[in-house]
Chain A
């Protein structure tokens, strides 16, 4: 009997597969097609202390092997989230990771404090959204700000804190170390890469926001590289994401050093992607006689050292 259990900052997941924030809502819609009980965790769409209207449309554009999005963190605010979405997710045998967004440090702390007595297993702090003017990435591109916001959130959080890092930096290991210094329990990476698409026939930006976050298979090699680099730079467990479409992709991230993986854009291409990846990881383990998935975490580096 193989074991796919992984431990993320003291929280045990039945398998390493979770959803990537923003692609899966709070699970209600995909839950009609996917058995949420089969997922390691559901990571919710970012929630702020008050409702956010998000950006104008068009909010997405397809690009070769990927997509750009500039949703702008539209969310119904904490009260609706806590009264509707958390009770929904609680019905399932999966871990609940709540993604938190804010414009100011106080906003983040407000949500984190309100989540203290809620059925959330972990908090994922979004300091890397490229599509909002305030908050988001503004915190994620300066190591001092990363350390400060991590420390402030940790001071108020009852649950383990995952800091979600942006790839839109010169050296992501600097940000990872800053989060570690601030007391983070885990890291998520990568958020989307800032991109742009122009409609040459209309001579207009494809997105109303002009720029958007690139996701999908196009970003995967960048994400794998960053997960590897960060895993070498810090001791924190990593949730790896960025273009994971299949179990093979998920295994690649785990071998690079990720303890868990998040599936995002793939849901749009295949609504059953998360469950397919759970099954595919088991197939891989059976194929290679791997009894415990933890043997695979960072195994590329180990193999390299052993020569």
Chain B
């Protein structure tokens, strides 16, 4: 049987999705269902003086209205920060309470005040409008940079400072900078983004009074985590009385990793009123209440020698956490950010200092790349600036500082097991026809366009993550992954994974792996995920972890199946276990023609004994059945890396900027399904280019979200992109048997600096993201004016 790993297998999940038979949470309905509509704060910061539901309770169709007082009375716990970060001075981070329905204060526009439950959505919405909330409006803190010197939002959190974290060695950096020929400095804003999965968040909770069990359907990347949080922290129901199902989920990009207030409230309310409670966000609710991404203000410096050798690096960042510390909110700007801050380079000394601040904006959490795009944007624009100031080619300065020996102990944390950065950049330059740029620039000029080229070399830490390491760093959970491989008696297979697929194609790629391991046709393998009552506990999908951690768990579970199969085959074939070999789905006794297929072995395992023609002996002491589970905890992170080259054309008359050529060379280690991997890169690039040129989440100075619909927030469209040129290099990861590294986030990490370096190259001056037509036009013309005045 030919290996399926490496093949462009068409996706098994596509037919249902293409024919309208997918089942998303909003498609789930229960008999006797009610509809929830949330009363949300219209103010960024206010005290709640009184919530008056008297009139609303009398509105047609209203079943129940629940408020923060009810949540408190029922002792429903608050939403949690999953990572505990310590400040440089050793003190613990400071986080505010985050009740699922606000009790005494609201802290961002969209914060949850009450829930109206009615017979229909229209009735719930109408009644919500007449819930009377008496607010005392307070001055909002909005700006990231000024948050520490603004009004204090929470009584116990001075300067609105969650933590002041340091990674690295200030003294070594100081010494390195003293030896520098030149120090390159940069000030950057990493613009706030809204993840914008196309499926708005939704929840539908059903309570069964006879079993006292809640079944929660939800738009989650991580149903097991939702269950443990809603159970252990919110205290809605014991874990064994709470079933969480994440059916088809329409994208996540980080924003659906953890439960939100709405899931907690719907589950709790369903139990309280003993009826199903359904909630589906409209798009503006999603903008207001989904966790946002990025939002850093950074000052960074790079110490260099005149020949371009890097000596030291410092990064001083203020990270906006929003109003509350979300589950991955505190790790995103620290351990997902700091260790990658020095980029792919040899950097003798470095530190990253992050001050994480609270503001009266929606919570900020992981968004595709989570910390690594922010790190990469800083170092890669700084390196490009260094090249300009030293008069070096941007490719040359990168090549000069790449490590070439692996494993490579990276400056701040990671031991990078494998990579070949030189090969990656060389291949990118070749595919992009780097040498031909000047000619293309002249051609663009002849059409009146300014052409620019920009590079980005990146590495990222994925395969999240070795549990002992992350727990030492402050993570409240392990980050291993589970798999259960279950042979059914008739020989087909169901594989349960604790990860979750919401576009990544696990139904196909994981089946490819199991098919290769077990020698079973892929059509006979079903991947099951997303239901806490089916497979074992797992940690879900984010951080490019599913294949590297969850895929490995499948391999390990298959190994156990094969080990048992060998014992059973040995008995049946009257041979020694050591003489039984397994390949292509057959157990063969060495140097003989005696063999059993894995299907025959599975059948024998389920029907041990003799019944007519069926003779299925099991070895003594061997239990019947053929089902194995593995919990895989990786020994290290994995480290995808690559080099991307972007070319843009700017219209100097309008400032309109178009990406005209984009080349991406990535090293994801072993690739299981190139079709799927290319799709992941395309999608990441679109989000990265979106951040660079189009997208911006903007709050005004009173904390009103100005960009709260698709009329106001620029989502990239089909006509914003060219076809991307992709290529791959491969240095397999050594930390997992598949050799995979993860591919989901690379595009979103590499594209922003590649695009922005190209824009700055085209217009000859610095500019912040997003490089909208207006900003580019202004920057170009101001620079032109400055230059002509200087001349």
- Do A and B actually bind? no
Task: Give residues in B with beta carbon < 8 Å to A.
Answer: none
Task: Give residues in A with beta carbon < 8 Å to B.
Answer: none
